[in-house]
Structure 1
Amino acid sequence: MTGIGKFVAASVVGLGMATAALAQDTTLRVSTWLPPTHGVNTEIFGGMIEMIEAATDGRVTGELVSGLAPPPAQSDLILDGAADIAIIFHGYQPGRYVATQLPELPGYEGSAEASSVAYWRVFEEHLAAMDEHRGVKVIALNTHGPGQIHTGSDVSTLADLDGLKTRIGGGVAGDVGGLIGLVGINVPAPQVYETLESGAADAVAMNVGERIGFRLDEVAPNLFEMPGGFYRGSFALIMSEETFADLPEDIQTKLDAEVFGEPLSRMAGAAWDLSDELAREAMGDDATTVVASAEDQASFAETTAEIRVRVLEELIEAGVDADAAYQMMVDEMAAVSAE
């Protein structure tokens, strides 16, 4: 080999080594707005990072970064390049998202894992074309478990909820609250404890798992449950398109095939289920749980039927086969539940 040939060969090898080193050193900045011990951080983000490391043979990892922006501004963080991955709760921006209301509707039967897998499948089949997350890469969709009402005072019937000042999210949850007589108070989830402790709110609408994440046992020990939930909350895990594009092609392929989409959505849903289970086990002796009577369940279904009609009409206006999307959500939840 000539001297020039040796130089070129050495340069190519050196370039390959540098590229490999760069890939091995890729650490994704994962923005979180939740308390350090919350299940989103420990289970969902923690599990996601493990999945990423496994799929990329350790060439890509992630680190949690907290306090970068309030919950409603997480999408902007990704668009601005201040973080690589974030989780957004669609209810924080009512009116911005239409498609995300579909999995939030009351009346679905099944776990958060079932609803999250179904959500991703329906998204791919019917909702992705709406491009409501334009500018970012949607890497997973999920819902928490059935949303219930946590109160400081005893509640035994649907009528007892009338007039309660309740922290409740936007979107479908807010619509449901209005129809059953709750007086909505709009504060971000991290402020729930202080809002209840100060007496500014009498109750909060959240999934059962948040009893641990936001210490609800201390300020709202009583639980009033509607089978299937009063609603479900919709979340998306989003990633910077530029960050993803900058990853080596083989890494992109592995992440899309083994992590992003249904696998990550399923894992996130299962994590929400785990948080609900742990919270039920940890409920204090002073806490009470009341399940809505059959009469209240029928009344609730009748009262909230108009919300489903409205959501499906909005989807139709957006060009979605709304009836097919809704039925697919129901059918896929049943299929996952039967696995």
Structure 2
Amino acid sequence: MNSEEQSAPKVQFVEITEENSDQRLDNFLITRLKGVPKSRIYRIVRKGEVRVNKGRVDVKYRLEAGDIVRIPPVRVSEKTEESFVGQSLRDALQKNILFEDDAFLILNKPSGFAVHGGSGVNSGIIEGFRQIRPEAHFLELVHRLDRDTSGCLLIAKKRSALRKLHELFRSDQVQKTYIALLAGQWAKKQTIVTVPLQKNVNKGGERMVVVSQSGKQAETVFKRLKLFRNATLVEASPKTGRTHQIRVHAAWLGHPIVGDERYGLDEVNKAFKSRGYKRLFLHAQKLKFQHPVSGELLKIFAPLPQDLEELLSNEEQV
């Protein structure tokens, strides 16, 4: 047996305490296995090498106090993934904080950054915060936004705050309002879309969400704000939190979001690209909820990014 084999890590069995209760399995492993690529972590869970109470689970499994987590031998690289958090992301995080106290912070997330690493992305928003705040003992995402979506993103700074905020989201006590630019002229002033959604994977391995009666309940309220010659500005309020919900519901209306490469219209996206516009026009503009500690009603507003403002100012209104 050589020295490398002798120093190889052993199987660990970790009992979950209240401190880690309600944490997602992937986030727990990412914190526990510092330096291990996230792609490797997702792979060992998918292959069943990680077990909870001797059973296979998904990375989204939420841990409970008393759970026994089996962690297989995984060699930790001396070089961590922190080096992949670029200066542009660090700068964006520092200047885009909308609200912060001891319990959590709210970021005006810039478009183009994933909220976390994995699935081919070395690092994202949460890894960036952990790098620029090495003194922080706890930083976890409360919810998620798509990579190309900008706007309000909640990050917990305490385990207790994370639990309370999760409960607010689960009990529909967080009002979320998005601004989106839809392709074409939408004739209605307001409508409620309630078609169910189901996650799917196409032949290229890309994750897609489709309208399906066998899917999960989903509800989005669309309200028209401005009518342009070739597009419609709307307010979208999701009452449920399904993956890609607003994007798929907008496409179902026959008016997909401008710049949506996955569910949108190629000719519309090409027309906007020819004018220099290259991103998804979806922005999480407002969050309204009761502070989980003080009980104060918070109304957080994220101003539109400059590129979205400029696009609207150049659109011809009807």
When normalised by structure 1's length, the TM-score is: 0.27
Report which structure shows greater RCO (CA 8 Å, sep ≥6).
1
More strand by share: 2
When normalised by structure 2's length, the TM-score is: 0.28
More helix by share: 1
